[in-house]
């Protein structure tokens, strides 16, 4: 029998049907779409627009020609003129995929965010409100695009906080949805959503538990129930199952096999991330990404496998947690790395990694010794070369007898306090099946839903830093530290374009890290410089927007761009708490002056590294700072206001510019001493990077159930046991005493290994 043919592209994952959008009335939608239209409009030569300035931004024929000549100069593969005109003229509001993604994004916003946005849209629809917000009595949706574009620019720099927040929110929404749906961008840049030479890895049959229809709750009994299948929960499952204990792992997310990975950007956000990848802090200063699927963060992280550094371990030990400086903790770290084959021996750096490699070190990867040139793992790893949780830890737990429930949303931990002490005895929640075809895009109401009790001797909460504290709160625990001490490793970004074709979405994502700026205060706080995944949803949404034409022209250079990040080990913290509307996480966090100074120093360092590498243009994601455009020596000379005597003499002798004085400082490459670059750096160094004008990102969250030596100082004890509650443990990044300063996967796993081994000892003693 012939072997089944493997797919050459990932199997598409269908999106849920769009829900109602009645949270805005017709006028509010008109106002919103008119502003969106001004962010990325149809740009046409004046005569082609006719009289409809509301739907097109008009430019002159000379502007069009100059723009095309510019693109021919700065891109290695410029489009044909007809393609260029078609790209500029495309109007996202006429693309049904774009409109659908806008609605899908807004549908997923928390109720309070919809109310706030709706109120502003209603205000802008009135003449008085328009006058206050725009300086015009004509409402914004009745203005031509050129006026709407100018209003957006004015909002970006407004002293009234509400307007830059609104501008940034709509800019982000528009750019993100455009990046996910525009076929011109993909075609002209050669971007695809999966690696070239795609070949999916093997799937694993987890044998998920199923329940029939019924009005009475189902009951499952086990030794240990683990809530969450991410980096902490998966390690606990393997350790405990292999120790001979009965283990049940539950997760609200669903399993997607390698043949469906990496997902398209829109599907990946829908199914793989917490809140569909759309969490913003209360003040909109920071965007939060956290995994929420089978395998959790281990399914969507980027393979980086760094140990916590000595000064961080010592800081934790100085808080009374001496375990972190012991050989035993190192053994835990070494064990988890061995399971995943962590190594830096097979790394092949892509363009961005080489740009920072001169002052950097290679990053070990959890790829089992494979080279793994996949830049799309943020949407799931199709090759299964990345030995993430759903590829290594959870299958190993299954082989040792662990059982699993996907689609199970735990509402609370159950306790028995009959003897006067609070003892965890299990969890309760709601299970939602797949549909009859094994799909999860159909309405939950059309699938089997069942209340389920999981009774257990031990409960391990591993829902992640955003959800674990909320589960403890819902379960009635009152410790004041729950949800506080939130660290997020705030990130500042820099885009850079090069002469070479970069295709930053190909090759490994983070294979080198620059640590020269990690200890800027002498106490372990600073930044690490890394490359970022170049999937458009992570880069284009924040690329600086000063005008629609500038932005569209910039994005035509995407294949020659790389994105770099300054990842801060933050000193100052925030908190997470449940929304009063729906109980979902609300993030109260603003990067402090202290931490923002470090991020800015990192962005300055990135700019220097990119300049040395030959970047032709550098865009820091810092409000009010223009891009740096590198001028060639000839360009610099020609821009001089006066002609020197030597140049005049050379011209009289019939010599060309290049035959003049070879020692003329403007004729040579001055490297990092380029006066243009030095002047621009001074502008960047002096920039005001306060939010909401400047925005930040986060992919690492820690600390909301922090470990402590004393009950008065934290949520869990040095063995992960929740203070004041027997048989209840937390094993994820929320237990970190402070920010790890490195990509946290290995630290999470090492701590989970330690906690699980101690849980196993308790279970054996109780027999």
Q: Is residue 589 part of a domain?
A: yes
| Residue the block writes with tokens 């996480």 | 585
Q: Rg for the chain (alpha carbons), in Å?
A: 27
Residues 662 and 680 in one domain: no
Distance set, CA 109 to CA 35, 451, 537 (Å): 19, 27, 17
| Residue the block writes with tokens 């640590």 | 515
Domain containing 607 equals: 491-634+670-698
Residues 501 and 608 in one domain: yes
Residues 526 and 574 in one domain: yes
Helices (H) and strands (E) in the chain, counts: 25, 21
Give the pLDDT confidence score for residue 51 in this predicted structure. 57
The whole-number average pLDDT for the span 179-202 is: 95
Q: Is residue 586 part of a domain?
A: yes
* pLDDT interval class at 765 (50, 70, 90): very high
Within a 10 A sphere around the Cβ of 562, how many other Cβ atoms?
27
Tell me: pLDDT of 512 over 50: yes
Tell me: pLDDT of 78 over 80: yes
Residues 641 and 676 in one domain: no
Which strand (E) or helix (H) includes residue 403?
strand 403-405
132-155 pLDDT, tens digit per residue, is: 999 999 999 999 999 999 999 999
Give the pLDDT confidence score for residue 427 in this predicted structure. 98
Instruction: Give yes or no for a cis peptide into 251 (omega within 30° of 0).
Output: no
Q: Is residue 641 part of a domain?
A: yes
Using DSSP's 3-state secondary structure scheme, residue 664 falls into coil
Give the pLDDT confidence score for residue 644 in this predicted structure. 39
* Beta bridge partner(s), residue 722: 716
d(CA 358, CA 602): 16
List, in order, residues 6 or more apart from 640 with CB less than 8 Å away. 666
Buried b (16+ CB within 10 A) or exposed e, 1-32: eeeeeeeeebeebebeeeeeeebbeeebbbbb
Q: Is residue 208 part of a domain?
A: no
* Beta bridge partner(s), residue 424: 415
Give the pLDDT confidence score for residue 53 in this predicted structure. 81
Give the pLDDT confidence score for residue 767 in this predicted structure. 78
- With beta carbons less than 8 A apart as the criterion, state whether 511 and 719 touch: no
Residues 626 and 646 in one domain: no
Q: Is residue 620 part of a domain?
A: yes
Q: Is residue 757 part of a domain?
A: no
Give the pLDDT confidence score for residue 355 in this predicted structure. 83
Please state, rounded to an integer, the average pLDDT across all residues of the chain: 93
* pLDDT interval class at 680 (50, 70, 90): very high
Residues 601 and 694 in one domain: yes
Q: Is the dihedral of CA 710, 712, 714, 715 positive or negative?
A: positive
How many structural domains compose the chain? 2
- With beta carbons less than 8 A apart as the criterion, state whether 411 and 431 touch: no
Tell me: pLDDT of 434 over 80: yes
573-620 pLDDT, tens digit per residue, is: 999 999 999 999 999 999 999 999 999 999 999 999 999 999 999 999
| Residue the block writes with tokens 């049904």 | 96
Q: Is residue 499 part of a domain?
A: yes
* pLDDT interval class at 663 (50, 70, 90): low
- Show the tokens assigned to 571: 């000193």
List, in order, residues 6 or more apart from 729 with CB less than 8 Å away. 458, 459, 460, 461, 716, 719, 720, 721, 722, 755, 759
d(CA 627, CA 620): 7
Q: Which residue has the higher pLDDT, 717 or 373?
A: 717
Residues 589 and 550 in one domain: yes
Give the pLDDT confidence score for residue 108 in this predicted structure. 92
Tell me: pLDDT of 269 over 80: yes
Q: What's the pTM value of the predicted model, to 2 decimals? A: 0.94
Residues 663 and 563 in one domain: no
Residues 560 and 644 in one domain: no
The whole-number average pLDDT for the span 690-718 is: 97
Within a 10 A sphere around the Cβ of 318, how many other Cβ atoms?
12
Give the pLDDT confidence score for residue 1 in this predicted structure. 42
| Residue the block writes with tokens 């996949």 | 374
- Show the tokens assigned to 236: 């606990």
Residues 519 and 571 in one domain: yes
Residues 674 and 565 in one domain: yes
Q: Is residue 179 part of a domain?
A: no
Residues 538 and 681 in one domain: yes
207-248 pLDDT, tens digit per residue, is: 999 999 999 999 999 999 999 999 999 999 999 999 999 999
The whole-number average pLDDT for the span 350-355 is: 86
Tell me: pLDDT of 656 over 60: no
């Amino acid at each position: 029998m012939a072997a089944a043919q493997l797919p050459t592209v990932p199997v598409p994952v269908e999106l849920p049907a769009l829900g109602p959008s009645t949270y805005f009335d017709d006028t509010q939608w008109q106002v919103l779409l008119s502003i969106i239209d001004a962010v990325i409009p149809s740009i046409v030569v004046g005569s082609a627009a006719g009289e409809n300035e509301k739907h097109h931004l008009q430019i002159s024929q000379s502007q069009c020609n100059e723009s095309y000549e510019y693109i021919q100069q700065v891109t290695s593969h410029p489009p044909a003129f007809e393609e260029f005109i078609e790209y500029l003229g495309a109007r996202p509001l006429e693309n049904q995929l774009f409109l659908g993604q806008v609605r899908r994004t807004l549908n997923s916003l928390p109720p309070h965010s919809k109310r706030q946005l709706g109120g502003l849209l209603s205000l802008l629809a009135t003449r008085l409100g328009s006058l206050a917000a725009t300086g015009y009595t004509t409402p914004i949706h009745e203005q031509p695009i050129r006026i709407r574009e100018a209003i957006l620019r004015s909002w970006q720099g407004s002293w009234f906080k509400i307007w830059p927040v609104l501008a940034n929110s709509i800019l982000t929404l528009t750019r993100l949805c455009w990046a996910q749906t525009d076929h011109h961008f993909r075609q002209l840049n050669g971007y695809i959503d999966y690696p070239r030479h795609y070949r999916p890895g093997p799937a694993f049959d987890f044998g998920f538990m199923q329940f029939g229809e019924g009005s009475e709750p189902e009951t499952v009994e086990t030794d240990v129930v683990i809530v969450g299948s991410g980096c902490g929960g998966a390690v606990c499952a393997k350790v405990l199952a292999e120790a001979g204990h009965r283990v049940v792992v539950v997760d609200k997310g669903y399993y997607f096999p390698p043949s469906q990975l990496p997902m398209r950007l829109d599907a990946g956000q829908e199914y793989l991330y917490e809140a569909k990848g759309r969490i913003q802090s209360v003040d909109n200063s920071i965007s939060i990404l956290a995994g929420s699927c089978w395998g959790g963060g281990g399914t969507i992280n980027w393979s980086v496998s760094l140990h916590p550094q000595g000064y961080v371990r010592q800081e934790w030990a100085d808080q009374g947690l001496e375990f972190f400086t012991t050989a035993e903790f190192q053994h835990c770290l070494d064990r988890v790395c061995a399971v995943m084959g962590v190594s830096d021996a097979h790394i092949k750096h892509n363009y961005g990694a080489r740009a920072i490699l001169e002052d950097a070190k290679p990053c070990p990867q959890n790829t089992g010794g494979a080279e793994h040139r996949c830049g799309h793992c943020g949407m799931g790893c199709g090759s299964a070369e990345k030995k993430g949780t759903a590829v290594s830890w959870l299958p190993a737990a299954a082989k040792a007898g662990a059982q699993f429930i996907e689609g199970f949303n735990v509402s609370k931990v159950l306790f028995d306090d009959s003897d006067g002490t609070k003892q965890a005895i299990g969890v309760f929640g709601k299970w939602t099946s797949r549909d009859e075809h094994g799909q999860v895009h159909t309405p939950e109401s059309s699938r089997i839903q069942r209340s389920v009790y999981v009774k257990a001797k031990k409960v391990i909460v591993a829902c992640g830093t955003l959800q674990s504290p909320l589960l403890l709160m819902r379960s009635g625990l009152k410790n004041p530290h729950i949800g506080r001490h939130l660290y997020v490793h705030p990130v500042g970004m820099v885009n850079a374009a090069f002469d070479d074709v970069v295709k930053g979405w190909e090759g490994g994502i983070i294979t080198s890290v620059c640590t020269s700026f990690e200890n800027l205060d002498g106490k372990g706080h600073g930044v690490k410089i890394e490359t970022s995944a170049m999937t458009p949803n992570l880069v284009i949404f924040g690329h600086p927007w000063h005008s629609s034409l500038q932005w569209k022209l910039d994005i035509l250079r995407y294949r020659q761009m790389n994105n770099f990040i300054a990842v801060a080990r933050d000193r100052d913290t925030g908190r997470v708490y449940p929304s009063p509307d729906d109980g979902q996480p609300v993030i109260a966090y603003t990067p402090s002056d202290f931490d923002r100074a470090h991020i800015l120093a990192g962005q300055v360092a990135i700019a220097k590294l990119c300049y040395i590498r030959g970047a032709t243009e550098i865009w820091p994601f810092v409000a009010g700072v223009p891009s740096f455009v590198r001028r060639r020596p000839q360009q610099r000379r020609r821009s001089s206001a006066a002609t020197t005597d030597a140049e005049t003499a050379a011209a009289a002798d019939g010599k060309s510019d290049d035959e003049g004085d070879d020692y003329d400082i403007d004729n040579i490459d001055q490297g990092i001493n380029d006066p243009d670059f030095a002047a621009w750096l001074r502008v960047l160094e002096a920039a005001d990077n306060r939010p909401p004008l400047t925005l930040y990102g986060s992919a690492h969250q820690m600390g909301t159930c922090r470990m402590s030596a004393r009950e008065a100082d934290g949520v869990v004890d040095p063995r992960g046991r929740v203070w004041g509650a027997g048989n209840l443990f937390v094993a994820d990044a929320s237990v970190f005493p402070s920010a790890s300063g490195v990509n946290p996967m290995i630290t999470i796993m090492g701590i989970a290994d330690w906690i699980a081994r101690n849980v196993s000892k308790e279970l054996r003693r109780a027999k």
